[in-house]
């Protein structure tokens, strides 16, 4: 009996030794931030030591994460030297109760997983910076560069400013300026860690500058960005409102026509005069034209949306897909359109417009 027990113990020892010797994948953290901020994009670098050449590639999956998003889950492992490999994963957390995932790293050979090595989660401090600061643009970046800006008269009371921004390790998608009712992203190119954004703001015409701040992660300080609002004298009469159908003048015209129509119908009923009947018919036709829904159609994919109906006008953005639109106005070879969901309004070239 003692001999059998000894054999079992020996077998277990040998099995443990073999299992230990068979381990070929060792994974650990190389770089991880000590603190992150709300909506900040941050980087975690993990490294692997692989003691075998009998594999095709390494793959990573994630589990047990909380209130955090992996921005590049399919990032490829890179061989840095000999048996050493590295991978950089980018994350974004919007709550203090976030938790990094467990990294499940696998050696794969001929499509089969031959070994798994898990890397447990690490704690990272979290801070909600600039809470209540109205000048903070919500951007946290390693670098933020104002490349270009342009201001044009938009209507008699407002100006339109376009800014072109480059940023590194940033969250430009969260950019917003407090207190401005009409603003938005015209275009965002996200090749993290590099981002580029075209942004527009509509402001009172008497404003001479636009100021906001961003948090610089290198200097650990708030940096103020100032955009001079230098007005260019280029007011096109057709650009008096974003949506002419929403202007007070248009509304008053429609109400006036309807009231006149009702008045002349009553006069005809009362006087039985054919002149009143004729005027009523004319007003009825005008009313039908005014109240008739705008023509609709589609704008082709890759079409440019312009601010003004001129060849040298600033481009708002480029459509990524075909969009259904409502026609607001027409001028020469340009058509003013509004997206069905009202997410954009601008001018397109007539050649890019098609029927439903």
Query: How confident is the model at residue 312, as a pLDDT?
Result: 65
| Tokens (6 digits) for 63 | 């589990």
Query: How confident is the model at residue 237, as a pLDDT?
Result: 36
Query: How confident is the model at residue 234, as a pLDDT?
Result: 43
CA distance 200 to 103: 40
Query: How confident is the model at residue 40, as a pLDDT?
Result: 92
Report percent pLDDT > 70 for the chain.
82
Residue 317: pLDDT band (50, 70, 90) is: low
Q: Is 276 helix (H, G, I), strand (E, B) or coil?
A: helix
Burial of 295 (0-12, 13-18, 19+ CB in 10 A): middle
Mean pLDDT computed over 230-238: 50
Query: How confident is the model at residue 3, as a pLDDT?
Result: 57
Residue 145: pLDDT band (50, 70, 90) is: very high
Query: How confident is the model at residue 59, as a pLDDT?
Result: 97
Mean pLDDT computed over 280-286: 79
What's the mean pLDDT when you consider all of the chain? 82
Query: How confident is the model at residue 30, as a pLDDT?
Result: 96
CA distance 16 to 110: 27
Q: What is the pLDDT of residues 299-313, one digit of tens each?
A: 888 888 777 777 666
User: Could you tell me which residue, 40 or 272, shows the higher pLDDT?
Assistant: 40
Residue 324: pLDDT band (50, 70, 90) is: confident
Residues 260-289 as b/e (b if ≥16 CB within 10 A, e otherwise) read: bbeebbebbeeeeeeebbebbeebeebbee
Q: What is the pLDDT of residues 154-173, one digit of tens each?
A: 777 888 899 999 999 999 99
């Amino acid at each position: 009996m003692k001999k059998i027990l000894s054999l079992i113990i020996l077998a277990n020892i040998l099995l443990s030794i073999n299992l230990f010797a068979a381990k070929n994948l060792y994974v650990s953290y190389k770089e991880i931030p000590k603190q992150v901020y709300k909506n900040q994009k941050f980087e975690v670098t993990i490294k692997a030591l692989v003691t075998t050449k009998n594999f095709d590639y390494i793959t990573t999956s994630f589990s047990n994460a909380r209130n955090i998003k992996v921005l590049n889950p399919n990032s490829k492992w890179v061989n840095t030297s000999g048996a050493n490999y590295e991978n950089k994963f980018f994350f974004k957390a919007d709550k203090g109760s976030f938790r990094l995932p467990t990294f499940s790293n696998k050696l794969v050979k001929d499509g089969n997983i031959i070994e798994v090595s898990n890397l447990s989660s690490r704690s990272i401090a979290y801070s909600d910076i600039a809470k209540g600061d109205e000048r903070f643009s919500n951007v946290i970046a390693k670098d933020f560069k104002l490349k270009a800006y342009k201001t044009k008269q938009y209507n008699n009371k407002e100006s339109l400013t376009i800014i072109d921004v480059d940023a590194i390790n940033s969250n430009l998608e969260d950019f917003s300026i407090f207190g401005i009712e009409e603003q938005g992203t015209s275009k965002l190119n996200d090749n993290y860690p590099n981002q580029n954004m075209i942004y527009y703001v509509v402001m009172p015409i008497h404003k001479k500058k636009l100021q906001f701040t961003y948090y610089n992660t290198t200097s650990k300080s708030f940096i103020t960005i100032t955009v001079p609002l230098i007005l260019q004298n280029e007011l096109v009469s057709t650009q008096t409102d974003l949506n002419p159908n929403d202007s007070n003048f248009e509304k008053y015209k429609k109400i006036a026509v309807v009231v006149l129509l009702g008045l002349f119908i009553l006069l005809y009923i009362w006087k039985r005069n054919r002149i009143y009947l004729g005027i009523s018919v004319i007003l009825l036709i005008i009313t039908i034209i005014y109240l008739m829904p705008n023509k609709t159609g589609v704008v082709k994919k890759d079409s440019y949306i312009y601010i003004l109906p001129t060849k040298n006008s600033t481009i708002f953005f480029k459509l990524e897909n075909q969009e259904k639109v409502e026609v607001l106005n027409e001028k020469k070879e340009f058509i003013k359109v509004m997206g069905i969901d009202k997410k954009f309004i601008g001018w397109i070239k007539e050649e890019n417009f098609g029927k439903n």
